Amino acid sequence: MKIAVLFGGTSTEHEISLRTGTFISKTLSSMGHSVKPILISREGRWVIPKEYRPEFPEGNSKNPEEYLKEFEELHSTSAGAFSSLDCDVAFLGLHGTSGEDGSVQGFLKVLGIPFTGSDVKASALAMDKIRANRLFQLSGMSVAPFWELRKRDYSENPTLVENSGLEYPLFLKPVEGGSSFHTFRIEGPEDLRKRLPEFFDAEEHAILQKFLKGTEVSCGVWEKKEGSKRILEALPPTEIIPGGEFFDVESKYKPGLSQEITPARLPEKIISKIQEQSVLAHKTLGCEGYSRTDFIIVGETPFVLETNTLPGMTETSLIPQQAKAAGIPIQTLYQSLIDQALERAGREAQSLASH
Q: Domain limits at 104?
A: 2-115
* H or E segment to which residue 47 belongs: strand 46-47
Is 245 found in the same domain as 137?
A: yes
Angle between helices 103-111 and 120-127 (to 10 degrees): 170
Is 133 found in the same domain as 98?
A: no
11 in a domain, yes or no? yes
Is 277 found in the same domain as 131?
A: yes
Which pLDDT score, from 0 to 100, does residue 61 have? 60
Of 24-38, 71-85, 136-150, 201-215, the range with the lowest mean pLDDT is: 71-85
354 in a domain, yes or no? no
- Cα(237)–Cα(272) distance, integer angstroms: 10
Is 340 found in the same domain as 193?
A: no
User: Known catalytic residue: 204?
Assistant: no
352 in a domain, yes or no? no
333 in a domain, yes or no? yes
pLDDT grade for 286, boundaries at 50, 70 and 90: very high
Number of neighbours of residue 62 by Cβ within 10 angstroms:
16
67 in a domain, yes or no? yes
Of 122-126, 278-282, 348-352, the range with the lowest mean pLDDT is: 348-352
Q: Which of 118, 179, 278, 336 is catalytic?
A: 179
Is 169 found in the same domain as 65?
A: no
Q: Which of 41, 258, 317, 336 is catalytic?
A: 317
The CATH number of the domain where 237 resides is what? Answer: 3.30.470.20
Which pTM was predicted? 0.89
20 in a domain, yes or no? yes
Mean pLDDT computed over every residue of the chain: 89
Q: Which of 13, 176, 260, 288 is catalytic?
A: 13
66 in a domain, yes or no? yes
Q: Please tell me whether 294 is known to bind a ligand.
A: yes
The torsion defined by the Cα of 252, 256, 257 and 262, in degrees rounded to 10, comes to 60
Is 336 found in the same domain as 233?
A: yes
Going by C-beta distance under 8 Å and a sequence separation of 6 or more, which residues neighbour residue 326?
A: 235, 236
First-to-final CA distance of the chain: 30
Question: DSSP string spanning 100-119?
Answer: TSSHHHHHHHHHT--BSS--
Boundary residue ending a domain (183, 210, 237):
210
pLDDT tens string 4-46: 999 999 988 899 999 999 999 999 999 999 999 999 999 999 9
Any idea how long the chain is? 355
pLDDT grade for 256, boundaries at 50, 70 and 90: low
CA–CA distances in Å: residue 89 to residues 59, 72, 172, 223, 226: 28, 23, 37, 18, 22
pLDDT grade for 251, boundaries at 50, 70 and 90: very low
Q: Please tell me whether 157 is known to bind a ligand.
A: no
Going by C-beta distance under 8 Å and a sequence separation of 6 or more, which residues neighbour residue 39?
A: 7, 8, 18, 21, 46, 47, 68, 71
The CATH number of the domain where 50 resides is what? Answer: 3.40.50.20
User: Known catalytic residue: 148?
Assistant: no
Q: Say if residues 77 and 50 touch (Cβ distance below 8 Å).
A: yes
Is 186 found in the same domain as 233?
A: no
User: pLDDT exceeding 90 applies to what percent of the chain?
Assistant: 68
Going by C-beta distance under 8 Å and a sequence separation of 6 or more, which residues neighbour residue 146?
A: 129, 130, 133, 207, 208, 209, 210
Which pLDDT score, from 0 to 100, does residue 351 have? 82
pLDDT grade for 254, boundaries at 50, 70 and 90: low
Is 159 found in the same domain as 181?
A: yes
3-state SS record for 312-350: CCCCCCHHHHHHHHCCCCHHHHHHHHHHHHHHHHHHHHH
Is 280 found in the same domain as 133?
A: yes
Which pLDDT score, from 0 to 100, does residue 75 have? 87
With vertex at residue 131, the alpha carbon angle to CA 125 and CA 132, rounded to the nearest 5 degrees, is: 65
Nearest to 203 by CA among 96, 312, 282, 277: 96
Is 183 found in the same domain as 93?
A: no
- Cα(97)–Cα(14) distance, integer angstroms: 10
Q: Please tell me whether 308 is known to bind a ligand.
A: yes
Total domains, the chain = 3
pLDDT tens string 183-239: 899 999 889 988 999 899 988 999 999 999 999 999 999 999 888 888 999 999 999
Nearest to 174 by CA among 141, 196, 144: 196
User: Known catalytic residue: 41?
Assistant: no
Hey, what amino acid is at 189?
Answer: P
- Cα(281)–Cα(132) distance, integer angstroms: 9
Is 163 found in the same domain as 84?
A: no
Is 105 found in the same domain as 6?
A: yes
- Cα(192)–Cα(162) distance, integer angstroms: 10
- Cα(220)–Cα(308) distance, integer angstroms: 9
